[in-house]
Structure 1
Amino acid sequence: MTEVSSTKNSRSSFDLRTIVLPIAAIIVLIAYFTYMNPLFFSPANALNIGRQSSVLLIVALAGTLVILIGSIDLSVGALVTLTGILAALTVDRFGVFGATLTAVGVGGVVGLLNGGLVTGLKVPSFLVTLGMLSILSGVTNQISQGQSILFMDGALPDLVNGAALLGVPNVIWFALLATAVLTVVVFRTKLGRYLYAIGGGEIVAANAGVAVVFYKVVTFMLAGAICGFAGVIMTGQVGAGTPTAGSSLLLNSIAAVVMGGTALSGGIGGPHRTFLGVLVIAILTNGMDVTEVNSFTQDIVKGLVIILAVSLTIDRSKYSFIK
């Protein structure tokens, strides 16, 4: 009885820590960068942060779903790049809807392959998606020949970069809507409950009657489809499909997921926490830009912040040893 009570107290303490720390980091960063440059704390810059982080938020949400089941998807950045190229190639012929359907469909198929290989071959997701990252990068460069893909249709950039509601760019609304929908899915649907069950203990979930293989494949497929949607948004923002556009998304998305308090071991966290993690990354990046920190120093700072975030938010109770 005492042991159970101790475990619950430990879990509550961990949950509280992973919520308080990102919020505290956001407050401290805003205060510091505002002190360094008052222009940082302005409505215009707030919209800039929103625009800059919208695609990252959508990709990080996809990564969150996979991490919740105790797996990881290293192919998200490469998949966003590929689907962005495909959107640029198809939008003139099929319109915004057709290009979006193509990108989301291809993303879902890639996710299905990832999930099928992980569950069918029983190979760690790290290795499967690392290989898929290389494959997708190769396919992208084959299609684009390493060049940006331009398109004539102005509807996609207008849709993404326009501001149809309250003067807020549509891209921000898309990202917030994705966060809200996935939060509902995770907390109010059977799929969401099973994500936590699988991440908390795959064998226990299987013994309880959960179709573990099926739901793992569905999770990878859903994450892939979301990355396809992110690819369309990214292409609309840039106004072209570029073969290097998603290069920074992988590390930044994983960092955002971890900073938000979703445990890499699975079963803890969710889209709402990833939202906080993306805010930390976005504010840190924008603040260093506004205060004119050079790009090399920015990389060092981000690396240190990621290590610190992992050390503070990792749930050590789920590891019998660190390897």
Structure 2
Amino acid sequence: MAEIPATVAKKQGDFNLRTIVLPVIAIVVLVAYFSYVNPLFFSASNALNIGRQSSVLLMVALAGTVVILIGSIDLSVGALVTLTGILAALTVDRFGLAGATLVGIGVGALVGLVNGSLVTMLKVPSFLVTLGMLSILSGVANQISQGQSILFTDSLLPDLVNGSFVLGIPNVIWFALIATAVLTVVAFRTKLGRYLYALGGGEIVASHAGVPVTFYKILAFVLAGGICGLAGVMLTGQVGAGTPTAGSSLLLNSIAAVVMGGTALSGGIGGPHRTFLGVLVIAILTNGMDVTEVNSFTQDIVKGFVIILAVSLTIDRSKYLFIK
């Protein structure tokens, strides 16, 4: 295993300049443009709005990053956030903040376990497994909620998420930043992180090097599911209710953020720190289009182009003999 980190580091270096500089340039250009069009964009209050709006997205994008690093993908993240958010709303009055949080994280991790097991044990592509899981989770969420928002009376969860302990910055922003820092440390300073990169860099090579491939692939999905569960609880606290459409936009935006940040969909390249930059790009782009009154349909078109452009710039073509 001693050779894998060096290989990963070299590969990371090959993409380092392009995948970090481009998002930074995009952020500078977007801020300059939207500030010129509407001076209110460049203000402290709008910066906090961007932080609030993007915190849950950052959590979901981090979850997606974990799975994408191993060369897989999880299309169920948005539906999982919706379901765990509804479950948190249903349980918080009875079990309190701690109980609702444990339910959210536990259900998220369980779904991740199912996803990872189906991918590894049955050899079903992650795209198909999680596409099916997306439909299942959406159906369960709507069945539980009957298509209606779930209200609760507990005030601790909204107060914790929307309140501020430090510098007047909402706690939800701090939670997302802490999650980013922790996952970045995990990615670059732990065995788990090295193995995730190794799997994404080449599963067969990693297996020959002694990496327990099945275990760590499942663990990646479990970790992603747990993060989505926590994001669902945070979103419920932020909104003040569990809603059956809460996570509907998170899938597209999270994938856009991951690839825009420079984490390659082919796996093995990128990381949580890159995803943070990608989320900033998507958050600034979305907020700027809102501030400049671009309609939602046009916003979807723009984000679609962003995904195509970002994938074309970050994909590791050396992994593919043919592009199908």
Indicate the TM-score class for this superposition, using the shorter chain for normalisation. over 0.9
Give 1:278-297 correspondences, 5 Å limit: 278-297=279-298
- In 2, distance between residues paired with 1:50 and 1:141? 29
Compute the displacement of 1:55 (Å).
Answer: 0.2
Would you say the 8 A contact 1:64–1:271 is kept in 2? yes
What are the Cα deviations for residues 147-166 of structure 1, in whole angstroms up to 9, with x where unaligned? Answer: 00000001100000001100
Give 1:1-323 correspondences, 5 Å limit: 12-323=13-324
- In 1, distance between residues paired with 2:214 and 2:234? 31
Would you say the 8 A contact 2:27–2:280 is kept in 1? yes
Task: Name the % identity.
Answer: 84
- In 1, distance between residues paired with 2:142 and 2:189? 40
Compute the displacement of 1:22 (Å).
Answer: 0.4
Unaligned 5+ runs, structure 1: 1-7
- In 1, distance between residues paired with 2:47 and 2:209? 46
- In 2, distance between residues paired with 1:30 and 1:118? 41
Unaligned 5+ runs, structure 2: 1-8
Compute the displacement of 1:13 (Å).
Answer: 4.7
**Aligned residue for 2:4?**
none
- In 2, distance between residues paired with 1:244 and 1:303? 20
Compute the displacement of 1:199 (Å).
Answer: 0.5
Would you say the 8 A contact 2:12–2:270 is kept in 1? no
- In 1, distance between residues paired with 2:208 and 2:318? 22
Q: CA RMSD in A?
A: 1.2
Compute the displacement of 1:12 (Å).
Answer: 4.1
| Secondary structure in 1 matching 2:265 | coil
- TM superposition score normalised by structure 1: 0.96
Compute the displacement of 1:11 (Å).
Answer: 6.7
- In 1, distance between residues paired with 2:142 and 2:249? 17
Residues 82 and 10 (structure 1), Cα distance of their counterparts in 2 relative to 1, 3 Å cut: closer
Residues 93 and 170 (structure 1), Cα distance of their counterparts in 2 relative to 1, 3 Å cut: same
Would you say the 8 A contact 2:265–2:311 is kept in 1? no
Residues 13 and 172 (structure 1), Cα distance of their counterparts in 2 relative to 1, 3 Å cut: same
Q: Kindly provide the amino acid, as one letter, of the partner of residue 311 in structure 1.
A: S
Compute the displacement of 1:295 (Å).
Answer: 1.3
- In 2, distance between residues paired with 1:296 and 1:126? 26
Would you say the 8 A contact 1:14–1:315 is kept in 2? no
What are the Cα deviations for residues 201-250 of structure 1, in whole angstroms up to 9, with x where unaligned? Answer: 00110111100000001110010000000000000000000000000001
- In 2, distance between residues paired with 1:123 and 1:57? 28
- In 1, distance between residues paired with 2:52 and 2:317? 35
- In 2, distance between residues paired with 1:181 and 1:274? 13
- In 2, distance between residues paired with 1:267 and 1:67? 8
The count of aligned residue pairs is: 316
Residues 9 and 157 (structure 1), Cα distance of their counterparts in 2 relative to 1, 3 Å cut: closer
- In 2, distance between residues paired with 1:269 and 1:320? 22
- In 2, distance between residues paired with 1:23 and 1:314? 19
- In 1, distance between residues paired with 2:260 and 2:200? 18
- In 1, distance between residues paired with 2:48 and 2:147? 31
- In 1, distance between residues paired with 2:12 and 2:186? 23
Compute the displacement of 1:298 (Å).
Answer: 1.2
